[in-house]
Every structure is written in structure tokens, then in C-alpha cells.
Amino acid sequence: MLLIMNRCKRVILCWLLVGVVTEGLSVRAGAETVQWPTPNNAFVEGKAVEEFIQPAASGKVESGMFGCVRNNGSRFHEGIDIKATSWTKKREPKDSVYAALSGKVAYVNRRAGRSSYGKYVVLVHPNASLPIYTLYAHLSEISTGLAAGQEVERGAQIGVMGRTAAGYTIPKERAHLHFEMGLQLTDRFQSWYNKQKFATKNYFGNYNGMNLVGVDPLGYFEGVKSDSQLSVRQYLCGLPTALEVRVYTKKIPDFIRRYPHLLLKPIEKNKVGGWEIEFTWFGLPKGWRPLPVREFKPNVEGDVSILAYSPELLKENRCRQLIQKLPNGEIVTGKGLQRELQKIFGY
């Protein structure tokens, strides 16, 4: 099977025209105004990534970037790690951390020992062209009074950069902000979590990292710098399709009710017989084509078939485990894609 052409640009539901201008650390995009989340000005000034991306222990700059960049390509990194620019006398970072977009506080974790994110904040941005979340992790401090439900303006300080984390130690020289942008898979994450019988409690509700699928923040900021008409919605829509699957189900998941912006055609009479879903190489379900209810087949609820894929997906991005090749050569869903579909559809 060969990779299908990206149909997103041909669908008017994916279009949203906005104006963009660059103003220092901020990029204005019509109703959206995005801001680089730290005082590190190197990206805005067009400097090399080494000037603003903090590498992991390997020292390779790509290890602080988005993708299958850790453990020789076997471990995925959901966001980017941004370097500090100022320090206390004890060499702890003291850079402020800013809200990248106006929105609301969705979740605040002030107990560093509970999460590999350490102390972290999640914001949601309902007024963006697509209501994404942003996440700010490893903070040393969270702004006093910051709480779920609170309105936050773009550029407001939400904390101070740090190196907090649970289960491992970030040394002073590698302190950074871990910054994510992305989508939430389901409103019923706890139900999926309970079925897995994990040893630890889910303290984070729907804002557990396992329920968040990130996009490349640096890719988005670079896109905005180069395209004066780019919005979050257009950026996501324009990402290459690496995999397309068909899911036979009558369910309309809360994911698509939350992100109807990703529909490639309307749902007929609020009923479906299945979905054809386009995924990016990193597992974001970016394009949804509802099948008419008449196409639903008895006794196939939850069946998944792969319609098309990129041959490079197996080799270059194996850490996401979206597909796997059986000994007989058949391409089937991988563990990563299975888990994602379980969360989205509640199986």
C-alpha cells in the first residue's frame, strides 16, 4: 500500500484565513496571538537551534527536539526543551515562563514527585482556530494563585523555569522548559486508565501525558515565521498524512465533538457507520472522514483496517509503534495505534 495524497488542503472545513505579523517574541495570527514561552530570544532572532534547544544527556541537540529523538530513536519526545538564559547565584535557572496563547488554566500540578513532568501547568485555548492545549513542565515555581478555570492572557507569567521531575534528576546545567502543544484524546481517560491496572494512581485526570498527543511546537513557530497566513488549524491540517485507517464503529467519539475542525466532510444526520482517519507520522489523528451509517457491517464494531501508509514510517519513526509488519508481510496496527484508538473510542 502506498501513502495516499494529503487531501486536507482540498477541504474547505480545514481552511481559516488569518493575518500574521511578527512583533519581537510574539506572533499575531488574527484571533490568535502566539508568544515564545521564555525570554530566550534566539529563535525569534533566527539563530541556530543550538542557541535555544537544550540537549538531553547525549549532548545531541536533536535530543531536545520533537520526535523519536531519544535512546537512539527508540523513545519519543513529545515537545521541545528550551534553554535557560539567566541563573541565580546557585546556578538555578530563573527565566520566567509565559503563556504562549490566551486561554484558560486546565490543570496545575504543584507536587513535583508525582510526575516525570515535575511541577507543570496545562493551558487550553478555546478561542484558537483549533482549541489546542499547551503544557509547561519542569517548573521550579508556579505563579501564586494560578488555578484551574482561571483566564490567562497571552504573555502572562505562569511560572519559573526549573528542573523538577519524578523518578530522575535533571542536573543544573541541563535545566530547561519542556514545552508542548497538542490535542487531548478523550474526556474519559480514567476509564481507559482503570482497565490497564497501573500500579500508580492517575493524579492528573484527563491531563495525564498519556492522554495528550503533541505536535512539533518548533515546526509550528517556524511555520508562522515563514507563512503570514498560517494558523494552528492550518498547520495541523497541512501536516503530511503518514497513515490512513478505517474503523468500523457507530460511535462519534468526544475527540471529534471537541475538534470538529478536523472533519473532512459533514456527519450525516448525526450518525456514522465508521471512520476513515488520517494520522501524522507521530500519531495525531488529523483528518476524519465519516462513513455513512449504511456502510456499517454487522458484527464488526471496532474492527480496524489499514488503507494506506508511508513505507518510511516503519523505519524512521518506529518508536511510535503505529504499524507493524507480520512475518507473512502483512501490515497491521501496532501497539501504539491500538492504544490510541482504545482511548479515542473507549474500547
User: What is the full DSSP assignment across 234-248?
Assistant: HHHHHSPP-EEEEE-
Residue 296 binned pLDDT confidence (cut-offs 50, 70, 90): confident
Give residues with Cβ within 8 angstroms of 195, minimum separation 6.
Answer: none
Quick one: cell of 113?
514527585
What is residue 317's predicted lDDT score, i.e. its pLDDT? 78
Query: What pairs with residue 23 in β-bridges?
Result: 26
- CA-to-CA separations, 323 to 18, 183, 281, 300, 313, in angstroms, rounded: 36, 21, 10, 20, 8
> pLDDT tens digits for 144-189?
999 999 999 999 999 999 999 999 999 999 999 999 999 999 999 9
Domains of the chain by start residue, with CATH: 18-226 (2.70.70.10), 239-345 (no CATH)
Strand arrangement, sheet containing 26-29: 20-23, 26-29, 32-35
d(CA 152, CA 81): 22
pLDDT higher than 60, residue 27: no
Closest residue by Cα to residue 247 from 275, 284, 266: 275
Give the residue ranges of DSSP H helices in the chain: 189-196, 217-226, 232-238, 254-258, 311-316, 335-345
Quick one: cell of 282?
507521530
What is residue 21's predicted lDDT score, i.e. its pLDDT? 26
Average pLDDT, the chain: 89
User: Mean pLDDT highest for which of 277-286, 303-312, 320-329?
Assistant: 277-286
What is residue 325's predicted lDDT score, i.e. its pLDDT? 87
Residue 72 binned pLDDT confidence (cut-offs 50, 70, 90): confident
Closest residue by Cα to residue 247 from 279, 215, 213: 279
Angle between helices 189-196 and 335-345 (to 10 degrees): 130
- N-to-C CA span, the chain: 27
pLDDT higher than 80, residue 17: no
pLDDT higher than 70, residue 120: yes
Torsion sign over Cα 242, 133, 179, 28: positive
Give residues with Cβ within 8 angstroms of 154, minimum separation 6.
Answer: 26, 33, 34, 35, 98, 99, 100, 101, 102
Torsion sign over Cα 10, 12, 13, 17: positive
Question: Which H or E run includes 342?
Answer: helix 335-345
The DSSP line for 259-285 is: -GGGBSSPPGGG--SEEEEEE-TT--E
d(CA 48, CA 51): 6
What is residue 8's predicted lDDT score, i.e. its pLDDT? 43
Secondary structure of residue 318 in the 3-state scheme: helix
**To the nearest whole percent, how much of the chain has pLDDT over 70?**
90
What is residue 2's predicted lDDT score, i.e. its pLDDT? 54
